[in-house]
Structure 1
Amino acid sequence: MSDTPALSSLTALVVDGATGPGRIVSIRLSAAGLRVAVVTVEEAVGATYLCKELAELGLTALPYRVCPFDADDAERVVSEVTEDLGQVDILVDLLPEDGFHEPATALGRAVLNGMAVAGHAGRVMVLRGASRRHWETVLAEHPSLSLDLIPAPGAAVDGDVADRSGLSTAEAVLLLLGIQP
């Protein structure tokens, strides 16, 4: 018998969850029965429409907008997600590392702290990149959480041609969670 909880009992927070691979991941996680927080860092219109479409199908997904570098805003979003959907079990951070996004932003730290306080095993899924060591260092403080590194859109995977659609990114997240893409 497995200790793995049923997907329908889990809550996932998908950062950049309304566009590109994040949209695919949000839809598929919701369709698999997870409660999904679709988090955007810019406009929330896309997330709102996506969540409305999913609700019409009887699925649970709610939109949230956050400034990932503002600790108070991050705490607010994590609190709202926890109140609305339950404790976050899976963090899928699909923001690219560039001049805008830094590893383990205030939002990432707020989610990690919330997951660790609950004391249960959780998963953190982030785009593979230069921040690997940083995430490993941050997660060393939370031994109940595991780290999965996923390929970034446009990155070649195992020598294959780069997939610019983000499909391989979404597929990696789904496969790591045991969901067939």
Structure 2
Amino acid sequence: MSIAASYASAPLDGCVVLVVDATTGIGRAITARLCAAGAAVAVVGAGHPGRGDDAATNAAFLCKELAGIGHVALPYQVDAEDTDAVAGLPGQISADLGPVSASIVVVPRCGATDRLVETFHAVSAAVARALPEGAPHIEVDPGPRAATSATRCDDEPARSAVERLVAVLTRTPDRRRSA
């Protein structure tokens, strides 16, 4: 079954979701699933030392791809080591897309150093503190085995995170953006 087919309706229509490390792996799968569920997604490419690609370019290309199939996604870039910039993301996104309804931060594990994992835990904490009151925050951390196990880097963590978010946001419709 396709991702779009797994959502008969758009349960997250009107929601704005911030996703950090949204351009590759689990984050990319989460972003696609959120869009399929009707959310407007703030696609945040998280730059960090040792990253072998350009986070901002990846975010822009992913958003262009999603817009091409009718989804709403805007690209953002942040230096993962700049917690002040990270904390400013919800305000910036709110100005562009509307109030942030929820956030998901993906902690990179496939080949990540302990320092990078710690950096992303700090990013997650900064995002959670900066969200509007009551907005849910999910940290997706596939765990240390992900560095050696390809099966831990598959779509299961993405599906699980989005299903949890859909469940929370559909129980609290006031978290949705006013149309």
Shorter-chain TM-score category?
Answer: 0.5 to 0.7
Deviation at 1:23, TM superposition (A): 0.7
The corresponding residue for 1:142 is none
Q: So what's the TM-score if we normalise by structure 1?
A: 0.67
Moved more, 79-88 or 33-42: 79-88
Deviations 1:72-114, CA, capped at 9 Å, x for gaps? 3223433211211222222211122632132542x43442233
The corresponding residue for 1:26 is 31
Residues 1:69 and 2:81 are matched in the alignment = yes
CA contact (8 A) 2:40 2:97 kept: yes
Residues 1:11 and 2:16 are matched in the alignment = yes
Q: Which runs of 5+ in 2 are unaligned?
A: 1-10, 48-53, 168-179
CA distance in 2, matches of 1:72, 1:63: 19
Moved more, 50-59 or 73-82: 73-82
The corresponding residue for 1:176 is 164
CA contact (8 A) 1:89 1:121 kept: yes
Deviation at 1:10, TM superposition (A): 1.4
CA distance in 2, matches of 1:153, 1:35: 31
Q: So what's the TM-score if we normalise by structure 2?
A: 0.68
Deviation at 1:152, TM superposition (A): 5.5
Which structure shows the higher helix fraction? 2
Deviations 1:114-133, CA, capped at 9 Å, x for gaps? 32xx3334232331548xxx
CA distance in 1, matches of 2:82, 2:142: 24
Higher RCO structure, 1 or 2 (CA under 8 Å, sep 6+): 2
The corresponding residue for 1:136 is none
Deviation at 1:7, TM superposition (A): 1.1
Identity between Structure 1 and Structure 2 (%): 35
The corresponding residue for 2:133 is 119
Q: Which runs of 5+ in 1 are unaligned?
A: 1-5, 131-150, 156-161
Listed as ranges, the matches of 1:1-181 within 5 Å are 6-42=11-47, 43=54, 44-96=56-108, 98-102=114-118, 104-105=121-122, 107-115=123-131, 118-127=132-141, 129=143, 163-178=151-166
CA distance in 2, matches of 1:28, 1:95: 18
- What's the secondary structure of 2:107's corresponding residue? coil
How many correspondences in the alignment? 145
CA contact (8 A) 1:29 1:36 kept: yes
Deviation at 1:48, TM superposition (A): 0.6
- What's the secondary structure of 1:12's corresponding residue? strand
